Every structure is written in structure tokens, then in C-alpha cells.
């Protein structure tokens, strides 16, 4: 089966009960899913995927995207086989030509002999939660190529465009054996920071003369770019936009660079990388960035080197995606950044950072589901709000009442946590 077909990689006759397909579109509480030993058809699917079946790959990604019961076990099995693909994120404002450029990149990689997976994150339908654009015709030049697997996925309303399901789909493509995985994201401005949690290398596209786009970069997206691309460089204003981007990169790498977020947005105060109001605790940020709050060893292979001597200086390039002009040079820049990541030890650090964020995201989802269940057992959120309105309780007391039994269960199972000397 060609992984890139008119039904977006999904098989309507995949053997599942129709009722299961209908129900599986509803997201199950995370607390109900556990990474357990696979049995039956799920175990067979993984074996078929690892053996090179595009049909199995499509089915696994469908289960991942729809959060079908058992999907966590599938993803858990895939992690042992992932980690070799070059994962590249392509982001930028709508209309910058991301889809056309991704199509040309896929073709160029194939000419080099690389196999390619493409995950295009589309806006979510407000009614179904599915991808609005579906299997887009802008990837038409790679139709029929068995070694280009294209999949549109829904952002499902998450800020940053990349949903957790998309990151899991990248893991599936990596485990399948794709040499390169390209991620095209929703153009949503500052929220593109989600890209960096899945991609090793991030390309930010800007249109010529796009003053608003350049201002958006200044507002925060500058930190995530490893390569900046002025696409549609045959248009008026391309040289000026190139000069503006080069100046921005120069300022980023200048004497005040230490005040910036650094590579991939690490260390931004109140950086929205964990869904919390304050960007997470200092310890959490230190953990994500490889700091010593969690006792991480950042020496040896994990060290990314001196903050100034080993820093990557983003490249600024021009492309004309429609004709393919500049695509080869862009791939060379991706290769150069990949080489830098491996040689400097930065790849180890950024992937550790990514896994730390994934763990935090999953734990928060699980604990949140437990809390939601507990709220329902207390009569639901509206009933609790009425208790506060009637002065029968206060929000802090109710939160303690709801959370304490959960904490007690954890302590009973795992034992009390060791005192850390901190003072409440």
C-alpha cells in the first residue's frame, strides 16, 4: 500500500467494529490508558509496521490520532525503535508557501535516496476535531512514491499547532525507518514554539516584504528558528527581508544573546512550554534545559559546550518553492545543523529536554483526568461552584478536599516522599 493516498493514509476496511470507530473519535481520559503488554491485533500491527508495512503504519497512526483504546501501548513499543530519523519542522505564517516547500523538500530528499515521512498539522474542524484540509493536493508531485508517506493530522485545538498525537505519529514514522520526517505546522504565530518539542531542526518561513511576519519573529518566534527562509524570493522585497532577518540573527548572537531564550526557546521566563500560568517552576525549567535542579549530569556526552563557543548561528536563506530554487541549499543547511547537534552534544540535550516535556505533559494529563473524575464524584463543578457562592465552602478548601484522597492513594502505594528541606 502506498502510504500517501487519497484517503490520507486511512484504511476504511481496517477490520475494526464500526461502533469502535465512531466511539474512538472521543478522547478517553488519559488515566484509563496504560502502557501495557500488547496482545492480539495490536501486537501484530507493531510487528507489521516494523517489518515495513505502510498499511500497518497508517493504521497505527490512525489509532494514535483518534486516541483509540490501547494506543499508549503502541507508542510505548515504538520508542525502542525510534531515534534515528532527522526530524525537521517547517513553520511560518499562512501563505508563506510551507506546503509547496515541504513537497519540494520531500522530492529532493528522495533524489538523494532518503525515505521521507510528512506530517502536516492542519487546523481542527470545530465539529469533528479532524483535519480541515485533509490530504492536500499541494503534495501532488510525490503521489505514487512508496517511500514518501504523507499524513494530515488535526491540531485538535492545542496551542502551538502540534498536538501530542502528532509527536506520537513522528515516533511511529521514525520507528518505521523513515530517514527524514518533515513536520509542517499550522501558522499561528508565537504558538509555533510547540514545534521545537518534536523537531531537531526548525525552519521558519517568511514572505518577502512581510513586515508583520518579521515583527512576529521579533515578538518571540526568533528563538525557535535554526534556519530562516525567505520563500517566494522572486517577489519584490526579498532582498530587504533577507537583510532584516540577517540583522535579527546578528542581534540574537550579539553581546546580549545571553538574555535571549537560547537554542529552541530554552530558558525563556514564563515560557509557555508546560501549559501553566507561570511557565512552570524553576526546577521544572532547569530540568527541561538540562540544569542541575534535578541532579542532571551535563558533563561529557550530555554537555552542549560553551554557551558562546558552541552556539549554532542560524542561517538565512532564500528559496522559490514553486521552481525548487534554493531547496538544495536549504537541505545542506539542515544537514549542517544536524551535524552540529551531533558533534556538540546538543542533540542529546535537546532530546532529553523533549522527553522531559513529554513526561510532564502525560503526567499532567493523567492527574488532570483523575481530578476531573474526583470533581464529578463531588457532584460536578457547577455544584461545587454553588457551594462557594452560598458561602458553604471556599475554592481552596474544595481543592484540598478533592486532591487529598488522590495524594493519599499515591502515598499509600509509593510511601511518603523524602523531605527535601523546603519550607512551605
List of residues 6+ apart from 321 with CB closer than 8 A: 97, 100, 101, 103, 104, 231, 232, 327
**By mean pLDDT, which of 166-175, 176-185, 191-200, 252-261 is the weakest?**
252-261
In the chain, where the domains are located: 38-81, 83-252+312-343, 365-413
CA distance 86 to 304: 19
Greater model confidence, 179 or 28: 179
Q: What is the mean pLDDT of the chain?
A: 75
Q: Which helix (H) or strand (E) holds 231?
A: none
- What's the pLDDT tens digit per position in 58-86? 999 999 988 888 899 999 999 999 999 99
Examine the pLDDT at 326 and tell me if it is beyond 90.
yes
CATH topology of domain 83-252+312-343: Rossmann fold (3.40.50)
pLDDT value for 216: 61
Highest mean pLDDT among 150-164, 262-276, 295-309: 150-164
Q: Is the pTM of this model over 0.85?
A: no
Cα separation, 60 vs 77, whole angstroms: 12
**Nearest to 124, CA basis, from 80, 71, 161:** 161
Q: 30: pLDDT confidence band, cut at 50, 70 and 90?
A: very low
pLDDT digits (tens, 9 = 90+) for 240-279: 888 888 888 887 766 545 444 444 544 333 333 444 334 4
325, 233 Cβ separation under 8 angstroms = yes
Q: Compute the distance between CA of residue 28 and CA of residue 67 in angstroms, rounded to an integer.
A: 7
Contact of 195 with 185, CB cutoff 8 Å: yes
Q: Which range (72-81, 182-191, 283-292) has the least confidence?
A: 283-292
Lowest-pLDDT range of 12-21, 217-226, 235-244, 349-358: 12-21
Amino acid at each position: 500500500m502506498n502510504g500517501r493516498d487519497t484517503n490520507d493514509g486511512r484504511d476504511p476496511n481496517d477490520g475494526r467494529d464500526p461502533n469502535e470507530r465512531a466511539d474512538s473519535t472521543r478522547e478517553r481520559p488519559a488515566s484509563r490508558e496504560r502502557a501495557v503488554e500488547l496482545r492480539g491485533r495490536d501486537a501484530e500491527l507493531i510487528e507489521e509496521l516494523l517489518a515495513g508495512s505502510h498499511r500497518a503504519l497508517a493504521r497505527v497512526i490512525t489509532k494514535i490520532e483518534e486516541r483509540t483504546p490501547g494506543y499508549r501501548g503502541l507508542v510505548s513499543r515504538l520508542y525502542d525503535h525510534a531515534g534515528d530519523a532527522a526530524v525537521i519542522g517547517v513553520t511560518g505564517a499562512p501563505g508563506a508557501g510551507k506546503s509547496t516547500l515541504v513537497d519540494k523538500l520531500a522530492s529532493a530528499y528522495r533524489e538523494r535516496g532518503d525515505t521521507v515521512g510528512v506530517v502536516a498539522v492542519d487546523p481542527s474542524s470545530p465539529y469533528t476535531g479532524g483535519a480541515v484540509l485533509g490530504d492536500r493536493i499541494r503534495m501532488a508531485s510525490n503521489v505514487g512514491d512508496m517511500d514518501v508517506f504523507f499524513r494530515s493530522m488535526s491540531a485538535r485545538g492545542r496551542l502551538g499547532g502540534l498536538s501530542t498525537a502528532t509527536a506520537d505519529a513522528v515516533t511511529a514514522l521514525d520507528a518505521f525507518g523513515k530517514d527524514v520526517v518533515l513536520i509542517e505546522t499550522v501558522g499561528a504565530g508565537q504558538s509555533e514554539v510547540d514545534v521545537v518539542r518534536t523537531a531537531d531542526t526548525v525552519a521558519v518561513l517568511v514572505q518577502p516584504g512581510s513586515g508583520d511576519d518579521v515583527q512576529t519573529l521579533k515578538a518571540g518566534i526568533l528563538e525557535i528558528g535554526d534556519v530562516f527562509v525567505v520563500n517566494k524570493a522572486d517577489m519584490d522585497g526579498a532582498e530587504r527581508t533577507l537583510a532584516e532577518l540577517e540583522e535579527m540573527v546578528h542581534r540574537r548572537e550579539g553581546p546580549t544573546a545571553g538574555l535571549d531564550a537560547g537554542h529552541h526557546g530554552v530558558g525563556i521566563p514564563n515560557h509557555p512550554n508546560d501549559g501553566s500560568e507561570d511557565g512552570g517552576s524553576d526546577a521544572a525549567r532547569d530540568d527541561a534545559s538540562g540544569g542541575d535542579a534535578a541532579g542532571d549530569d551535563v558533563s561529557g556526552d550530555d554537555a552542549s559546550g560553551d554557551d558562546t563557543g558552541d552556539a549554532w548561528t542560524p542561517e538565512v536563506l532564500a528559496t522559490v518553492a514553486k521552481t525548487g530554487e534554493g531547496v538544495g541549499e536549504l537541505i545542506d543547511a539542515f544537514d549542517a545543523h544536524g551535524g552540529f547537534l551531533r558533534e556538540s552534544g546538543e542533540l542529546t540535550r535537546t532530546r532529553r529536554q523533549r522527553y522531559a516535556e513529554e513526561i510532564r505533559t502525560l503526567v499532567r494529563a493523567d492527574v488532570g483526568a483523575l481530578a476531573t473524575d474526583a470533581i464529578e464524584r463531588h457532584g460536578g463543578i457547577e455544584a461545587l461552584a454553588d457551594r462557594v457562592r452560598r458561602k458553604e465552602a471556599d475554592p481552596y478548601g474544595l481543592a484540598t478536599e478533592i486532591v487529598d484522597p488522590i495524594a493519599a492513594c499515591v502515598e499509600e502505594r509509593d510511601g511518603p516522599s523524602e523531605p527535601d528541606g523546603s519550607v512551605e
